[in-house]
Amino acid sequence: MLSIEQVQSVQRLLAAGECSQREIARRTGVSRPSIAAIANGTRVIQPPRPIDEPAYPAQRCADCGGLVVMPCLACLLRRHRQRLMAEQRARRKEAASGIQPTPSRRPAA
């Protein structure tokens, strides 16, 4: 995207009529199609778009201290992963001790 200053400098050079569009493109570093669009009036100066403010302000997560929009997805994922690993350890421990898994932990066939 061209800056406002670039478009204005191209417009000044075009209005002066001293050099070709190719020469203006070489001097300014703007592509020739963009120079042609500015010359034809199909390219207009657009003000910069405002940066959208987040719907919810960022807060410090009490668990990890990160500046995030709550709930902290990193902490949710970490807790989920810890829960899965604890279940896997329990299953391995049950299998190693010879205890039959409880019906709620029996793997689906």
State yes or no: pLDDT of 7 exceeds 70.
yes
Would you say 62 and 76 are in contact if contact means Cβ atoms under 8 Å apart?
A: no
101 alpha-carbon distance from chain centroid: 45
pLDDT in tens, 84-101: 999 999 999 888 887 666
- Helix 21-28 to helix 4-16 angle (10° resolution) is 150
DSSP type of residue 67: E
Lowest mean pLDDT among 1-5, 85-89, 102-106: 102-106
Q: Which pLDDT belongs to residue 54? A: 67
Encoded amino acid at 36, one letter:
A
The fraction of the chain above a pLDDT of 90, given in percent, is 49
Q: Is pTM, for the whole model, over 0.85? A: no
pLDDT in tens, 25-42: 999 999 999 999 999 988
59 forms bridges with which residues in the sheet? 68
